[in-house]
Each structure stands twice: as structure tokens, then as C-alpha cells.
Structure 1
Amino acid sequence: MISQPVFSQLNRYASAALCAVSLAGCMVGPDFVKPDNGLHEAVLTPRQAPPDATRTSDAAVPSQWWRLFNDAVLAELQSRAQADNLDLQMASERIEQSRAQLGIAASELLPSVGAGASYAREGLSEHGKFVALGASSSPSDFWQLGFDASWEIDLWGRARRLREGAAAALEATVYDREAARVALSAEVARTYLQLRGTQAQLDIAQQNLTVAERTLGLTESRERNGVATRFETSSARAQVATIKATVPELLQRRNALMNALALLVGEKPRALDAQLGETLPLPSLPTSMPVGIPSEWAHRRPDILRAEAQLHAATADIGVAKADFYPRIGLKGQIGVEAFEGGDLLSWDSRVFSVGPTVYLPIFQGGRLTQRLALNEARQKTAALAYRQTVLRAWHEVDDALDAWAAQQRRHDELLVSYEQNKQALQAAERGYQEGASDYLNVLTAQLNVLASQTRLNDSATSATLTVVNLYKSLGGGWDPDALKHAPGAGVEGSAVPSSDAPVAIVSPVTSHTKASP
């Protein structure tokens, strides 16, 4: 048992520790306050919306927005990319690194306990002062065994600010992965749609080649019969060669796009050739475009959430820097046994202990603490500007994407009319040429017009679907915020994203409105 004097002394130190803990509710430095993003003022309609085109709605943005295209191959590629993309896997590993950093920061709030043991064989010099005072110079053994414990009392909230900053940094890393997920889903959809557009262009070239070869055969027949001239035959052959010349470039573009999709899903080159080599039509535009309401952007766009978390972390760093100006108070203790004989270590008389408070007060640091505080305040102002810039950029991206989407729909409608008229003109020119009512120049011109209008129409259809991709990327589609928040075991204390309900100050470049803790 511990003797009464020892127990009384330990009790006094424990009481002092409890008093110190009661004061530890104070935290110096500014608290976090969520910034006002102002996105409620945004308008989710294009400047010039087509009268009879696809309409937008206030329905929530679907997390898997690519399913609006109703394309099974695209949906499968998206699933494979979400599971196997290497960039996304690296982003997940960075989350684990941030989680470990949070654990390191949280350990500052807990006491540290260690055990130690030592053995030494010692001998004093016969000419030393201790022997002169009567000590024996004969060699002897010395054994020590014990436990050490120390605990810094977080009076000013330094350790709690460290943990708060680490939790916000983890939150930013989580949103960084989700931003990568949004970019990945958009890149997969964009590459796939470009592939289908290229395949459609190949099909158009083949159709025009068939028409040109048929015209060439007719021209050669007319030349043999003395009706057509060498100019007409040479022009027909040149048209066939011109169309054939477009095929190798289109094939190379198709192959490059299939390889790009293979890279996005973590596969080697040509791994998707068998699946994607078959020509399929370009997916049609969705009949409805759910875009939500502007105030939800800040909850859907992970880059805005990431910038907010980075601002939170920068604000917490100010508290850490301010706490360094205050004294650090802790408790330190040691208990163990020591003896000259190993067998005496179990004896109660071999006990040794020490316990007491420790105080560290910074007096002169050469300006290091002041400059560190100034550095962290400047970093917070930079983070505040970065947040404002992220919100403003998001606003511009959504507005530009809406206008581009509407413009491509109007352009496609007009190009469709142009294609139909050019096709009728070609039919009339071919009929007139066969009947001898017109020369071959009319046919050649009509063929060129049809080929050009088909190419423009296909490019327009591809561009129209790509504007849908850009729109949903700008709206932050491609991930599910609700699923992330309620994912068990992910993030801090059972949630995917650390709770940031505690207010945090925003220090702007012009003014600083902070909410100080006691």
C-alpha cells in the first residue's frame, strides 16, 4: 500500500490537476464562422433559352447524372472508373494520411506513459572525491525499473486547436477526393461521347464514300459513252480520294479515345477495343435537365467545401500560434524501484517516486512567436480569398455552361435544317445529271455541301451532349454528399467528414470579424 504521506501528496497534485482542467475550457484565437457564399443570387436559366428545347428544372441534381443519357455502356464505364481509377485511389490514400495526422494531433490531449528499465555495473575511482569521503571503490550492480508519465494541461486550447485544424485538414482531403471523383465522372462521359461522335463521323464518311463511288462509276460510264468529260471524271476521282483521306485520321482519333477510356478505368491500352470498337449511335440528349437551386451549390460542389475546410484549418492555426504566447502547465510523475541487488527490486523499501507540476513560460524567442502568428493570419486571409475565388469561379462555370447548353441546342436545330436541304439539293442534282439536264459541277458541289453539313451536324450533336457533361460538372454532380456524411466508420468519430459546427472566424483582407473564445 502507498503510505499516508505519499497518498496525501498525490491527492494534492490531483486536486491541482482538476482545477487546471476546469480552466481548460478556454481557447485563445478566433472561432470559425461559416462564410456567406452569396450563391442564392445566382440564376439557373440561360440568357437565350430555346423555345422548344429541353427545359431545366429545380429538381435535385442526380449523383449519377450520366444515367440521364440512358446508355448502358457509359454507366458500366463509370462504375469501373469509380472502382479502379488510380488517381481516385491515390486520393483515398491521402485521406488515410490525413486521418493519421489527426490521430497524432489528438494525442496531444492525452497523457503519455512510458516504462523503462536499466542495469549498470559501477565502480568508483580510488582517487576520486567520493572514495575520499568514505565511499567504497569496489564494483557494484545497480538496477532500476519504473514508469514515467507526463501530461500537458491544455489551458489555452493549443492542443484542441491542433486537433481542430487537423480535423479540418482531413475534411479538406475528403472533399479533394470527391472533387477528383466529379472530374473523373465528367472525363469518362466526355471521352465516351467524343468516341461515339468520332464513330458517327466514320459512318458518315463511309456513307459519303459510297455516294461518291457511285457517282464516279456513273461519270466513268458517261465518259466512255462520250457524254461526260475528263474533267468530270477526274473531279469524281478526287472527291473519292478526299473522302478516303479523312478515314485514317478518324480511325486514329477513335483508337486514342478508346485508349483514354482504358486509362481512366485503370486498364492497359487496347483493353476496351473489343467492347467499344462496335459503332453505336451517339446518346440522345436528356428530355429533362434537373439542375437544383443555386443555394445548394455550396453543398454539392466539393471544391467549395474543400476551400471552406481549408479556411477552417487556417483559422485553427491562428489559435495554435496565439496559445504559444501563454505558459504551458503540465504534470510529470515517476514511480518505480531501484536497488543494488536484483533480488531487492521486489522489496517495498526499494520504491522511488516523484510527482509535481511543470511550467514553461516563453520569455524571449527573438520574435519567432510574433512572426508565426503573423504568418498564420496571412495564410488565413489567403484561404479566405481562395474561398471567395472558388465560389466566384463556380458561379461563372455554371452560368457559362447553361449558355453553352442553350446555344448548342439552337445551333443543332438550324444545322439539322441545313442538312435536310443540302440532301434534297444533292438528290435533285444527281437526278438532273442522270437526265443530262445539268453538269457534274452541280453534283460535286451538292456532295461537298452534304458532307460538310453532315460533319457539322454530327459535331453539333456531340457538342450538345458535351455541354450537358460540362453543366453537371459545374453543378458538382458525380458524388453523393448525403451518402458521404452518413458513411459509417469514415472520417472523424464515425462520420465521413468531421463535424465543423463550431464557429470559425473569417479574416478577410480588408476587415477581420472574429469571435473570440474566453
Structure 2
Amino acid sequence: MTMVRTLMSGASRCAMAGALLFLGACTVGPDWHEPTPVLPAIFSPPVGESAASQVDGADIDPAWWTIFDDAELSSLERRVASTNLDVAEATARLAESRAERRMVGADQYPSTNANASYARERASPNGVLSLLGTTQQQSTATIANGSPGFGPTSLPGSSGAAPFDLWQYGFDASWELDLWGRVRRAVEAAGAAVDATADLRRGVLVSALAETARDYLQLRGVQAQIAITRQNLDIATHSLSMTQLRLANGATTNLDVANAAAQVSAVQAGLPALQKQEAQLVNALSFLLGAPPRTLAAELATPKPIPPVPPRIPVGLPSELARQRPDIRSAEARLHEATADIGVAVADFYPRITLGGSFDIQALQFSGLGSWESQQYGLGPSISLPIFEGGRLHGALELRKAQQKQAAIIYQRTVLQAWHEVDDALTAYNAAQNQRSQWLDAVRQNRIALATAQSQYAQGAIDFLNVLTIQNQLLSVERALVQADTDTDIALASLYKALGGGWQSDFPIEAVDAGGRRGAAIGPPSASDMAGALAADRSER
């Protein structure tokens, strides 16, 4: 009775009152509507005191790293898409997904096969052919060409009919009439899977671009710290020379000389760790470009200043975030795929009608294969109707509906996470700038203090311990300032990663992606949020 009600419901949807061959336009299951993500009209101002460099709603340049105005960084970024191994792996996964879609799409077309065979056969007199009622009389069955006849007749004492040759060649074809849209829904789902994989590849590229910028900026920061350390080493060496001169003149003691020598050694001790960091960052950049260790050592050996940030930072509008972030785009495609899979599950409740046909040439002699009289053929439809499946079809449908709801939740979570990441990145960028301003003032004051202390020590007004203390403070705040400069640049790179930029030039969206959400005929965008628009039961059948 359940199946009868199912078929009656399907009849009301598809108008099964006439010829089934003309119902190809009927597609069961829910239709896809693009979701409308919940996002603010504008990005909220960052938490804390506003810094000098601020964001605005201007369009984002896909090559966002050019905002640093660093030719070396731009060169590295241009090479990432073509040489990064993670991107290459993601490209291979995309080719795999497209091949799977082609396999699914093949079900839309007739399947034809050519065949040829030869067999040496012999019939059993005690088998099925014995039902013909033969006797044990001596009989001779012949055909026109003189070969032994086919059947259980046999000579006395023999063990059955004589063997014979069977030659055959021909072709056969079959085609499932997609009356309920099962194949079309499967192709739609496979196309959405291609879209999801393509956006995953874009996401890998965005991460690689951001990581390249982060490592490069850190490298310039470490090189700046090495330069500062060497400058402070010069200062410490000068102080040591001054104390030694004062000792020679009897104006100080060995204590000041020992303290000054210890300061020189302490500053020198910081260099190996910084040089190790520099080498590791060069190797990290080499790895991102798919190159062996130290490949970029010569290219990046010359230190360059840490790039300054511009006064205005274009970040676009929040409404564009869902189109820019590859993870949101991929989650949307997975939701599309899950929605189409419901249609496949619903179509399994309906009959499958397949047209089949064959044409063969068959002969008992090889010479007969060229004769038109040796032809045989068959043509006709077949129908398969599920009657009892032990709840398998209903379970499959419930599974697909649950998977669609899960995909909707993942989509919502991805959008919300993106919003949080952008907001956090805006706050981090603003805070890094404010912190840099404080360290810049601290460096300025410490340099004045050190110059004053050195002058007073030369005049004998203070002891060397005061000079040593101020010199250590200057080294510390100068390193902190360099780190603040680096952190500000890295915060800006993280902001653009959160915005999802950088993939548009290398992996643009195709005008028509066959079978995908941009190539398939879909309904207009829904005006409601996906949280309340995922009732797939509305069109279960």
C-alpha cells in the first residue's frame, strides 16, 4: 500500500496519464536555491583606539600583496600558484572530481557495445533439449550445409549430439529513460561536487599566498633584528673601548671593563639564534615554492626594510565575503550537492524503464557470417519497479535529507566563522599599529637616554652600570619595535586571508561550468536564511 500511495503521489507530480516517453522534463526532489548568508551591511570598527591606517569599503585588488609595494614579495607570490605542491595536489583532486562527473554524465546517453564470439559447443541428450522427446533410434540430423544437426539425437552407443561451431558478431545498445530526473539529479550533484573541489583548490591557494607573505615579512623582520643586534654590538664594543681607556687613565676599575666585556658577549650571543631563524624562513619560502632547501638563499640574502602599511586599506563590503571566501563557496556547493542527492533518492522509488536492442550475425560456419540471412535482432523496453526493499529506499531518502541538513549547518557555521575571522583580523591589525606607536616612542626616548648616559659617564658623573642598564633597555625596545613592525604587516596579510582574496587571477570562475551550480539551471536565490529554508520534506516526492 505504501508503494501504491508513492506511485499515486508521483502520478500527480508528473502527469503519468499518457506516454511515459514524453515525461523527460519531470524531475523529482527539491530544487536548488542559492542561500542568502547572514552578514552585516558594513564591517564594525575595530575594538580599541583607532590607529593611523584604516580600512574602507573599496574593492579588493586580487593581488592584495602589492599593497606592500615590495617587488620581491610580488615575485614570490606570482610563483606560488604554479609551483606550490599543495596547490598541485588540489589541482589533481579537481581533475579527479571532473572525471567522476563525466562518468556520472555518461548515464544520460545510450550505451552501445560491439561484440564478436566463437564457440565450439555440444548439446547434452540428458539436458533441457531431452524434453523434445527423442528416441534411441539411429537418426541423422543434417542441415543444408551438411553439418550434424543440433539437438539430442544421436547414433546408438554415442554419448550425445555431435559438436558444432557457432560464429557470431554484432552490437547491442541500451538507454535508461530518465523519466523522473534521477540521472539529471545525479549529474547536478556531481557538478556541484566539482564546484566544491574547485573552491577547495582556491582555498589552498589563498592559504599558500598568505603563508608566503607571512614568512617573507617575518624574514625581513628577522633580518632587521640582526641589523639592530649588530648596531648594538658596535655600541657595546665602543663602550668597552671607552672603559678600557678610562681604566688606563685610572678613572675607573676593572669592574666596569668586565661589565662592558660581558655586554659585548651577551649581544653577540643573540646573533646565532637570529641567523638560525633567517635560514629556517628562507627554507620555508623555498618549500612553499616547491624547491629544495636554500634555493632562495642567494635571492633573499640582501636585507630589505620591513614594508610599511598604507594609510587606507580596501576590504570591500561584507556582502561580498560569501563570493570571495573559497570555504564559504565550497560549503555552498556541498549544500547544493546534498540537495540534488535527495532527488536521486526520491527517483529510486519510481519505475526505471530501459530501452534495449541488439543486432547480430550468427552462423554455424565461418563462411555464413557474410550472409544477410544469418541476421538476428531483438528490440524492446524493460521496466524495473521496486516493490519490497526492506526499508532500504526509505532509509536512503532519510539519509540524504539528514546529510542536506548537516550541509546547511556547515554552511551557516562557515559563514559565521568567516565573519568572526574578519572581525578578529581587523582588531588585530588595529592593535598591532597602536602597539607599534608605543614602541616607537620608547625607542626614541631610550636613544636619548643612552646618549645622555654615555656623555655623563665620559665626564665621570655616573658609573658604568647606568650606561649598561640603558643600553640593554635600548636593545630590548628596538627589537620590540621591529617585531611590532613585522606583526603589523602580518596582521594585514592575515586580514586579506580572512577576506578570501588572491585566487581570482589564477583560478577564475569559468563563465559556464558544465553541470555545476553556475552551469545548471537553478532557481532564483532564496530571500531567507538557510536556517529556516532547509525543509527538504516540502518536495520529498
TM-score (norm 1): 0.91
Partner in structure 2 of residue 32 of structure 1:
32
The more displaced of 74-83 and 335-344 is 335-344
1:88-130 superposed Cα distances (whole Å, 9 cap, x missing partner) = 0111111110100110111111111111111222234567626
Q: Secondary structure at the match of 1:359?
A: strand
Against the structure 1 CA distance between its residues 241 and 43, is the aligned structure 2 distance closer, same or farther, given a 3 Å change threshold?
A: same
Matched, 1:84 2:83: yes
From 514, 518, 521, give the equivalent of 1:492: 514
Q: 1:250 aligns with which of 274, 283, 286?
A: 274
- Secondary structure, aligned partner of 1:31: coil
Mapping of residues 110-509 of structure 1, within 5 Å: 110-125=109-124, 129=130, 132=134, 136=149, 137-480=161-504, 484-486=508-510, 491-492=513-514, 498-499=519-520, 501-502=522-523
Q: Which moved more, 1:405-414 or 1:335-344?
A: 335-344
Shift of 1:500: 6.7
Q: Which amino acid aligns with 2:48?
A: Q
Deviations along 1:277-332, whole A, 9 cap, x unmatched? 11111111123211111100011111100000011111111111111111111111
Q: Contact 1:415–1:457 at 8 Å: present in 2 too?
A: yes
Once residues 110 and 40 of structure 2 are traced to their aligned partners in structure 1, the CA distance between those partners, rounded to angstroms, is 47
Q: Which moved more, 1:437-446 or 1:338-347?
A: 338-347
Residue range with higher mean Cα deviation, 119-128 or 54-63: 119-128
CA gap of 1:54–1:126, structure 2 versus 1, over 3 A, is closer
1:45 to 2:45 alignment: yes
Query: How far is the alpha carbon of 1:143 from its aligned partner?
Result: 1.6
Give me the CA root mean square deviation.
2.4
For the Cα contact (< 8 Å) 1:484–1:496, is it kept in 2?
Answer: no
1:504 and 1:335 mapped to 2: Cα distance? 49
Q: Does the aligned pair in 2 maintain the 1:165–1:312 contact within 8 Å?
A: yes
Shift of 1:517: 9.0
Contact 1:507 1:513 in 2 (8 A): no
My pick for the range that moved more, 197-206 or 127-136, is: 127-136
Partners of 1:21 and 1:212 in 2: how far apart? 93
- Amino acid aligned to 1:34: E
- List alignment gaps of at least 5 residues for structure 2: 1-15, 142-148, 150-160
Q: How far does the alpha carbon of each residue in 1:436-476 deviate from its partner, in whole angstroms, 9 at most, with x for none? A: 11111221111011111101100100000001101100011
CA contact 1:42–1:395 (8 Å) conserved in 2? no
User: Hey, what's the Cα distance between the residues in 2 that align with 1:196 and 1:443?
Assistant: 30
Cα distance in 1 for residues equivalent to 2:373 and 2:510: 57
> Which residue in the other structure is 2:102 paired with?
103
Alpha carbons 1:208, 1:451 under 8 Å: kept: yes
One-letter amino acid matched to 2:38: G
TM-score under structure 2 length normalisation: 0.87
Instruction: Report the alpha carbon displacement of residue 25 of structure 1 after superposing the two structures with TM.
Output: 1.2
Tell me if structure 1 keeps the 8 A contact 2:405–2:534: no
Deviation at 1:516, TM superposition (A): 3.5
Cα 1:463/1:434, change in 2 over 3 Å: same
> Match for residue 5 of structure 2?
none
Q: Which residue of 2 aligns with 1:5?
A: none
Moved more, 112-121 or 186-195: 112-121
Instruction: Tell me the matched-pair count.
Output: 498
- Unaligned residue ranges in structure 1 (runs of 5+): 1-15
Change (3 A) 1:509 1:382: farther
SS of residue matched to 1:281: coil
Whichever of the two has the greater Rg, that structure is 2
